Copies of this chain bind each other. A is one copy, B any other.
């Protein structure tokens, strides 16, 4: 039985909570979120769980846990106080925040501090998700295991954001005129995807590549036709999303190129959605996953499926290259490794 503290009951946290409840060998020992006083099960659309959501870690009482699923913030500085509290309470941590996939990229000092504290405590801290965390990094790394050498990695995740409401779509500029989009870019409230530095940092460390130059670009996707979702309608000539690209150079060459078009109603202009990875190597590998892996469910699943590897993992702050090959945890069998079994 693995005792899990559940911190954060937003979209990802709700999905993860439902997955935990389907795994009988998981015991949810507490929940922290803003739905204070609600039952966690009912808060996520399930039967009553007997776990009451509290508003802050201090309100948990003397709850003990093996691990916390932390689905609260995107940025490392916001997560550090929570992670420190969890390490002090003896818990391993799996976080969904984009910057936590490879905290050395944007916050090397904080990463070193988390690593030192986790090592001292003999605990493991890990960040995961679909993007960053899989589509453009872990999947590409895994494919390179078939190569004698690799000179360049390209990955595209083309995502349909039609199911999102106006809030998340604002950072993509959806509905704006091209002029307003440029203003949003300049003022920083149109900012596309968080995670390129992390994906590139994780790949580069694993492959031993020294990145000498790094650049990002955000281009608007202007729709030629009306695009309509249950949440928003965008007229022709306005912004339906954006294409965010990052490139990392080594030795003067682009060695990693990540490309992330995100838009609503892509079928209106026949845009193909999917996760596409090209390994320029010996042998070369071209992989296509269509449509793109569903992001919310996959991010929550990758957190839950990492529970066993993280509990068995090396102490410290770890990244995707340091844990065992990830796979869906058998319902009811997280964290175990049967030695027997045959076809």
> Contact residues of A with B, CB < 8 Å?
15, 18-19, 22, 104-106, 108, 115, 130, 134, 138-139, 141-150, 196-198, 200-201, 204-209, 211, 214, 248, 281-283, 285-290, 293-294, 297-298, 300-302, 304-306, 320-328, 330-333, 337-343
Contacts and interface: CB of A to CB of B under 8 A. Distances in A.
Contacts of A146: 130, 134, 293, 297-298, 301-302
Nearest to A111: B342
Contact of A148 (B22, B108, B196, B248): B22
B327 A324 contact: no
B141 A343 contact: no
Contacts of A200: 343
A297 B282 contact: yes
A235 B331 CA distance: 52
Closest 8 A-B residue pairs measured CB to CB? A208-B330, A145-B326, A205-B341, A283-B294, A146-B298, A144-B328, A141-B327, A200-B343
Contact of A333 (B143, B144, B208): B208
How many copies make up the complex?
A: 2
A148 to B, nearest CB: 5
Contact of A322 (B22, B115, B324): B324
A243 to B, nearest CB: 19
Contact of A342 (B104, B304, B323): B104
19 contacts: A18-B148, A108-B342, A115-B339, A138-B325, A142-B325, A142-B326, A144-B305, A145-B326, A147-B298, A147-B328, A148-B297, A148-B328, A197-B343, A201-B341, A205-B340, A207-B330, A286-B289, A286-B290, A287-B287
A296 to B, nearest CB: 9
A341 B145 contact: no
Contacts of A149: 22, 328, 331
A26 to B, nearest CB: 13
A321 to B, nearest CB: 6
A143 B214 CA distance: 29
Contact of A285 (B145, B293, B324): B293
B141 A204 contact: no
